[in-house]
């Protein structure tokens, strides 16, 4: 009796049970102030036996209780009225799109792309306004009349233009104001000789050295020429007064001739020397400039064919000017390859002269 009472008093207080216990009777906790029938924590135990329970404190509310459904396997209690889990419901509608976030920082600059095609050419601009009219040119100098010849240093200076035909005007003042000047070629021809029916005579102004032979060929009319042999050739000198308006820096000479006999590709070399005699200077033994020469190559069947050597500019001695007495001395260079006689027919001279037109 006392033992039972003592036990009753003991059981009525707080009791801690250590070690395993097996309860085979009924436990009624209906009047308990609180009950905690399962172990609690945030991590499921690593092992379990069937029938154990565990209250996981960090699980979603109402889903905290786990059961050991097989050795070592925990199964979370799901909601519902005691039956099994129902089928998964349909996916809900997509929620509204959230607000656009802030713009991110600008990325690094990319590499330069290829050059694009060239654009079309723009339209031509409008023509600018015409400039003012230039000043009027000089008038005719005092004392100059129509056809007056201008000398080399005349004013206004004459324009030197390309070589033209003798007597042909090649340039003038396009403004049609004041005198119009031009330089044209004046050409002179001197035959080496002339002939009658049976006699050849030396041409006007020619002086022939010893050994020069004058002859002619043909029937009627006959052509006269001066024969210059290949061996020890003589000289022939043309003496004449040059026109005062000539610019002797433009003087050119060419010789017309024909070979007595000859072969294709033979060469004939003619030489030319010039001397000038001014008023008051002795005409005896004038001083000649350096020789100038011109080479002519014979073509096919050259015998008796009329040939013209290229234009040659003689070397001008110091002081030579238009209006002076001139000596043109011709000779043959013995280094040429033609062995035939060189028959001179005549000499053509040309030089520029200035004229004024109105």
Question: Using one digit for the tens of pLDDT, what is the confidence trace for 46-102?
Answer: 899 998 999 999 988 888 999 999 998 999 987 644 444 456 668 878 888 889 989
What does the pLDDT read at residue 42? 92
What pLDDT band is residue 168 in, cutting at 50, 70 and 90?
A: very low
User: What does the alpha-carbon distance between residue 229 and residue 212 come to, in Å, rounded to a whole number?
Assistant: 9
Percent of the chain at pLDDT > 90 equals 28
Contact 90, 96 (CB under 8 A): no
User: What does the alpha-carbon distance between residue 150 and residue 158 come to, in Å, rounded to a whole number?
Assistant: 8
The residue that leads in pLDDT, 271 or 175, is 271
Contact 296, 232 (CB under 8 A): no
User: Residue 94 class from Cβ within 10 Å (0-12 exposed, 13-18 middle, 19+ buried)?
Assistant: exposed
User: What does the alpha-carbon distance between residue 39 and residue 194 come to, in Å, rounded to a whole number?
Assistant: 160
User: What does the alpha-carbon distance between residue 115 and residue 251 come to, in Å, rounded to a whole number?
Assistant: 63
Residue 47, CB half-sphere, CA atoms under 13 Å: how many?
1
* Dihedral-angle region of residue 57 (phi above 0 means left; psi in -120 to 50 means alpha; beta otherwise): alpha
Residue 331, CB half-sphere, CA atoms under 13 Å: how many?
16
The residue that leads in pLDDT, 169 or 350, is 350
What's the pTM value of the predicted model, to 2 decimals?
0.50
Question: Using one digit for the tens of pLDDT, what is the confidence trace for 126-143?
Answer: 888 888 886 654 444 444
């Amino acid at each position: 009796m006392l033992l039972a009472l003592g036990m009753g008093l003991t059981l009525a207080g707080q009791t801690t049970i250590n070690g395993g216990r097996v309860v085979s009777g009924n436990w009624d906790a209906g009047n308990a102030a609180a009950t905690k029938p399962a172990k609690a924590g945030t991590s499921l135990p690593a092992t379990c036996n069937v029938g154990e329970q565990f209250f996981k404190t960090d699980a979603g509310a109402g889903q905290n209780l786990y059961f050991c459904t097989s050795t070592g396997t925990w199964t979370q209690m799901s909601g519902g009225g005691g039956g099994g889990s129902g089928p998964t419901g349909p996916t809900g509608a997509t929620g509204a799109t959230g607000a656009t976030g802030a713009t991110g920082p600008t990325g690094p600059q990319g590499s330069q792309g290829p050059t694009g095609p060239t654009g079309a050419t723009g339209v031509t601009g409008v023509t600018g306004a015409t400039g003012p009219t230039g000043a009027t040119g000089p008038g005719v100098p005092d004392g100059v009349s129509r056809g007056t010849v201008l000398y080399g240093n005349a004013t206004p200076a004459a324009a030197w233009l390309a070589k033209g035909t003798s007597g042909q005007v090649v340039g003038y003042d396009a403004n049609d104001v004041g005198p119009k000047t031009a330089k044209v070629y004046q050409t002179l021809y001197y035959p080496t000789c002339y002939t009658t029916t049976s006699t050849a005579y030396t041409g006007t102004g020619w002086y022939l050295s010893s050994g020069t032979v004058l002859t002619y060929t043909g029937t009627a009319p006959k052509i006269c020429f001066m024969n210059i042999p290949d061996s020890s050739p003589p000289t022939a000198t043309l003496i004449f007064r040059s026109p005062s308006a000539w610019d002797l820096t433009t003087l050119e000479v060419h010789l017309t001739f024909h070979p007595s006999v000859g072969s294709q590709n033979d060469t004939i070399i003619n030489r030319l020397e010039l001397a000038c005699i001014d008023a008051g200077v002795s005409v005896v033994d004038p001083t000649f400039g350096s020789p100038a020469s011109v080479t002519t190559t014979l073509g096919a069947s050259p015998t008796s064919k009329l040939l013209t050597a290229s234009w040659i500019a003689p070397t001008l001695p110091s002081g030579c000017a238009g209006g002076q007495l001139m000596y043109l001395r011709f000779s043959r260079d013995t280094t040429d390859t033609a062995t035939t006689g060189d028959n001179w027919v005549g000499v053509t001279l040309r030089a520029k002269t200035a004229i004024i037109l109105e």
